[in-house]
Structure 1
Amino acid sequence: MKYATVLLALLILTLNACAFSRGTLGDELKTETINSIKKGVTTRAEVLAKLGAPDRIVQLNGRDLFQYYRYDAKVGSLLLIILNFSRVTIKSDDLFVLVDRDGVVEEVIASKRTEGLEFRFWPFGD
């Protein structure tokens, strides 16, 4: 019986693990490319040439809203035999380009939040 208890304790202590993984969705949105899109100057064709096809297109009263995005996710996990803990951190970079009826950029809205995204291993609180 004592041997089985020691063996079980050793198994519990040695079969624990940590796991880290990372995933991205979408293409990187470069600051230089975003800054090169000028309101009232850049055309729809130029936006498509610089950034490619948008991830999403929304029609707004005859105007087109192009959305480009990139998601970055990091997961840290503590894997125990009986109990597992994981922490997922997800951030996104977004770019919205509003093109008017004449095919000229009317508005550019961008946010970059994925820079400096860290693994957050501890599953409780900040």
Structure 2
Amino acid sequence: MTPVARCLVPFLLLLVAGCAQYENRRGVEAGWTDAYMQTLQPGVTTRAEVMAALGPPSQVIALEGESILYYLFERSDGEGIVLVLYNRMQIDTQYDRAIFFFDQNGLLTDAASRIAPADNG
């Protein structure tokens, strides 16, 4: 093997090893479709019904006279290069979220949701 090849092989191995992909998913998967949200009826739908349909929330908030169920799902995708003298990461994070307000009797008073558009790139 020539001296140039001996130097080039480790450099190429370091370069290839420096490529990175990133993917992260955490929280509660979005089960709150637009169709589901339209079935909710303030004053009729109960906290138990929402939890039965969507599972445990990411967070429960208790306020005076009302409670809130907050659902959040975070997804991140990215890529980068990690080298000895140069590092670069590009990460795109999207959040799906839904929030449900209930009165002291456990009846829905208001709800809102947003599902981030899927990245087609």
CA distance in 2, matches of 1:48, 1:7: 62
Whether the 8 Å contact between 2:22 and 2:91 is mirrored in structure 1 is no
CA distance in 2, matches of 1:89, 1:37: 32
* 2:73 paired residue number: 70
* 2:57 paired residue number: 54
Measured after TM superposition, the shift of residue 118 of structure 1 is 6.0
TM-score, with normalisation over the residues of structure 1? 0.77
Q: Which string of whole-angstrom CA distances, capped at 9 and with x for unpartnered residues, describes residues 85-113 of structure 1?
A: 11121111011000011211001011111
Whether the 8 Å contact between 2:28 and 2:72 is mirrored in structure 1 is yes
CA distance in 1, matches of 2:37, 2:11: 52
CA distance in 2, matches of 1:35, 1:19: 41
Whether the 8 Å contact between 1:74 and 1:118 is mirrored in structure 2 is no
Whether the 8 Å contact between 2:28 and 2:57 is mirrored in structure 1 is no
* Structure 2 unpaired stretches of 5+: none
CA distance in 1, matches of 2:75, 2:81: 21
* Structure 1 unpaired stretches of 5+: 120-126
CA distance in 2, matches of 1:63, 1:41: 15
Task: Report the aligned-residue RMSD.
Answer: 2.2
TM-score, with normalisation over the residues of structure 2? 0.80
| Alignment coverage as a number of residue pairs | 116
Residue 112 (structure 1) aligned to one of 105, 108, 115: 115
* 2:6 paired residue number: 7
